[in-house]
Chain A
Amino acid sequence: MLEVENLSVSYRGISALEAISLSLMPGELVGLIGPNGAGKSTLIKAILGLAPCQGQVLFNGIPLRRQRRRVTYVPQRSQIDWDYPVTVWNVVMMAQTKSLGWGRRPGNEAKRLTSAALDRVDMLTLKDRPIGQLSGGQQQRVFLARALAQQAELFLLDEPFTGIDKKTEAIMVDIFAELSAQQKTLLVCSHEWGDNLNRYDRLLLLNRKLLADDRPQAVMTMDNIQRAFGSNMPSRFTQPRTMRLVS
């Protein structure tokens, strides 16, 4: 179980997150939603200990930063330089870096995990491609494969559904269901707004503070949208079926 207690983040004196407390159960698939700049990425980074933060993050009762192998992180697409000279295979192999240890080359087990993960996201045939020569959806699948190959218990994914194709979306939804059946914990950041959000067990609505934490149906109310987006709410949010939290 992941327990976040009173987590606050400020960047150079400007508060980005205020006293966030939440808990995630094993097997739970939780969506983290909120407008641009709400602090979704910041919350994920703070949970991982990658942002300057105050508060406590415990996983199964022990500070998460002392057991980083149990958690895996899929960064927001925009954070990666897709021209970096590296192949699909070597990106997924990065998941083994920590467990192999300094100076060790990947052995059979590492190769098996890598190839199984690539196969799971249907990218094994493209394993020798440079990542820059993939579509956005394929790139996202490579990062999901890297997360799978790490065999973690807690998955933190930053906007995995942004800019992907139908096939990737189907694969990802399927994998999330499988992981949650294996009692893994998943926290997924999202821009989407609409029926898609019903695929989560629970939604966290964030805008600097945690505004709502409930079942999707209970969170997706006009009242809550207004609270999250304030008076600057774009007009398209008034039509719930097609609503998207876009930039």
Chain B
Amino acid sequence: MDWLLDPLNYDFMRQALMAGVLIGVLCPVVGTFLIVQQMALLGDVVAHAVLPGLAIANFLQIPLLLGAFISGMISTFVTTWIQTQSKVKIDTAMAITFSSFFALGITLLTTLKSRLDLEELLFGDILGITVADVWQVGLITVAILIAVKFFYKELLFFTFDRLGAEASGLPVNAINLGLMTVITLAIVAGMKTVGVILVMALMISPAAAASLLTTELHWMMMIGSGLGVLSSLIGMYMSYFLNIPSGPAITLTLFVCFLLALLFSPSQGVLTSHFSMAKGQNSLD
């Protein structure tokens, strides 16, 4: 068991693991809302769109997270604006937004002679996670989880039947704004740990795996979080021992989880459901 405990002797590794656990809980909860609205790619949009904000914040010497948050939020507005103002579909709007923001971000990072470590931002780096980062991630996680719990029934109604929710008098625009805020915050929080390119994996893969294992939204979140934490921890250890960036390590672990769920889910697994059908069971009951 020494190999398990050995990395814990290092401050950076303890911080990385803490951040990994927090992010592992948070991201799948938020990602669940994206998946059920068939907007999984919006996570990708925001994740790429934080770059210009990071570059500008670094240049102006304001907190990076603030810059990333503002720029991420702007990208969600731009996406919605393109979609509502024209017949351009949401996936097209997302593709246009995220590539443009990403390009702008890279341009700004180079022209502003930013000293930000691009590779760390893009792919995550367990060496780069400070105590302050852990606190930030912790606060964001707790705040979002409380908000999701408090507004759960409104969020459920809104994401299931937006028109019905609006018809019943719920303030759908405010709820949507709240969701976008939460999504952006979660991405910003996950940035340091997995990097902007792969933070989407932590939002989508565990929740998607969970969706194959359950048929209720809150279970999708809880199982997703469990898988998220597990994959984060395994990924961090892989990053430590194999000397690879934490983002790819976590993402690959998540993919294995998803694959296992896809193949072996008791009710919907590619292999198991065939098996139960062969045995004449009704997989619905």
Q: Which residues of A contact B (CB under 8 A)?
A: 12, 45, 48, 50, 68-69, 71-73, 75, 79-81, 84-87, 90-91, 93-95, 97-98, 100, 102-103, 105, 130, 132-133, 146, 150
Contacts and interface: CB of A to CB of B under 8 A. Distances in A.
B164 A85 contact: no
A90 B159 CA distance: 13
Contacts of B168: 68-69, 72-73, 94-95, 97-98, 150
A90 B160 CA distance: 11
A85 B163 contact: no
Contacts of A86: 156, 160, 215-217
B41 interface: no
Nearest to A66: B169
Given A12-B86, A48-B166, 15 more contacts: A50-B167, A68-B168, A73-B164, A75-B163, A81-B160, A85-B217, A86-B156, A86-B216, A87-B216, A90-B216, A94-B165, A97-B165, A102-B151, A133-B215, A146-B164
Given A68-B167, A73-B164, A81-B36, A133 B284 contact: yes
A103 B151 contact: yes
B164 A94 contact: yes
B225 interface: no
B169 A94 contact: no
Given A94-B156, A94-B164, A103-B151, A85 B214 contact: yes
Contacts of A85: 36, 211, 214-217, 219-220
A90 B36 CA distance: 15
B115 interface: no
Contacts of A69: 168-169
A71 B36 CA distance: 27
Contacts of A97: 153-154, 157, 165, 168, 170
Interface of B: 36, 38, 86-87, 150-151, 153-154, 156-157, 159-161, 163-170, 211, 214-217, 219-220, 284
23 contacts: A12-B87, A50-B166, A71-B167, A72-B167, A79-B161, A80-B161, A81-B36, A81-B160, A84-B36, A84-B159, A85-B217, A86-B156, A94-B153, A94-B157, A94-B168, A97-B153, A97-B165, A98-B168, A100-B153, A102-B150, A105-B153, A130-B215, A133-B215
Nearest to B215: A130
Q: 3 nearest interchain CB pairs?
A: A68-B169, A130-B215, A73-B167
Nearest to B167: A73
A98 to B, nearest CB: 5
A94 B36 contact: no
Contacts of B36: 81, 84-85
Contacts of A12: 86-87
A95 B167 CA distance: 11
Contact of B150 (A94, A98, A103): A103
Contacts of B38: 81
A143 B24 CA distance: 36
A110 to B, nearest CB: 10
B220 A98 contact: no
Contacts of A90: 156, 216
Contact of A73 (B163, B170, B216, B220): B163
A75 B156 contact: no
A68 B164 CA distance: 11
Given A94-B156, A98-B169, A87 B150 contact: no
Given A85-B214, A85-B217, A132-B215, A50 B151 contact: no
Contacts of B86: 12
Nearest to B159: A84
Contact of A94 (B87, B161, B211): B161
A11 to B, nearest CB: 10
A85 B167 CA distance: 22
A125 to B, nearest CB: 12
B150 to A, nearest CB: 5
Contacts of B161: 75, 79-80, 94
A146 B36 CA distance: 20
A205 to B, nearest CB: 24
Contact of B154 (A80, A81, A102, A132): A102
A241 to B, nearest CB: 35
A107 to B, nearest CB: 13
Contacts of B216: 85-87, 90, 130
Contacts of A48: 166-167
